[in-house]
Amino acid sequence: MVLPVRRERPKVVVKADLLPSVTVASTIGMAGIPIGWLWARLAPPRQAVITRDGTPTPIDLESWHAFDALVIFALLLLGAGLFVGTLTWLLRERRGPVVMLAAVAGSLLSGWLGMLMGNAFLGDEYAVSGRPEIGDVITLAPEIGSPWVIIVQPLAVSLVYALLAAWNGRDDLGRRLA
């Protein structure tokens, strides 16, 4: 009669992963700077007409560019999230929930930083010189319409990391090199 062998389940390593997880979170967070720069180059401006009360009103089809700017930013964050989730999984010695949470937190920081830096990179590029008259057409800077778009990257990171962990199928997530 063969008795089943009881294998000891690997424990979650927290203490050893804390410092590397801070490094992972801060490095991923800095990815928001190039994302913001790229968004500032890709997002389309809007044309608007100055009305009688002095406010700019977007020309008919130009108002769609507000949605375009939001979607461009969301797609940049989605691509970054897929890349970061895969790259974080490749840190074999640090696989686990601590580094995954650090990657998600760093991605949230990256989205927030990308939103701030995107507007900063636009700078005065679309500033109106002088006082516009009624009926003048001016160019409005692109803007991110909703701050909720920053959750796209953390969601993509967590989805990719979870799929790779489920696909792995090992108790220790392949953390040991043996």
Domain assignments of the chain as residue spans, ordered by start: 23-165
SS3 state of residue 145: coil
Distance CA 100, CA 161 (A): 7
Q: Quick: pLDDT tens for 24-41.
A: 999 999 999 999 999 999
Per DSSP, which regions of the chain are E strands?
Answer: 46-50, 56-58, 137-140
Q: How far is CA 20 from the centre of its chain?
A: 20
pLDDT over 90 for what percent of the chain? Answer: 54
Distance CA 21, CA 102 (A): 5
- In the numeric block, the tokens 């389309």 are attached to 44
Q: Quick: pLDDT tens for 155-167.
A: 999 999 999 998 9
SS3 state of residue 168: helix
Task: Give the model's pLDDT for residue 178.
Answer: 44
Distance CA 49, CA 111 (A): 32
Positive or negative, the CA dihedral 104, 41, 67, 131 is: positive
pTM reported for the whole predicted model: 0.86
**Burial class, 45, CB count within 10 angstroms (exposed 0-12 / middle 13-18 / buried 19+):** middle
Higher-pLDDT residue of 46 and 74 is 74
Question: Which residue, among 65, 80, 98, has the nearest Cα to 152 in the 3D structure?
Answer: 80
Cβ atoms of residues 51 and 57 within 8 Å: yes
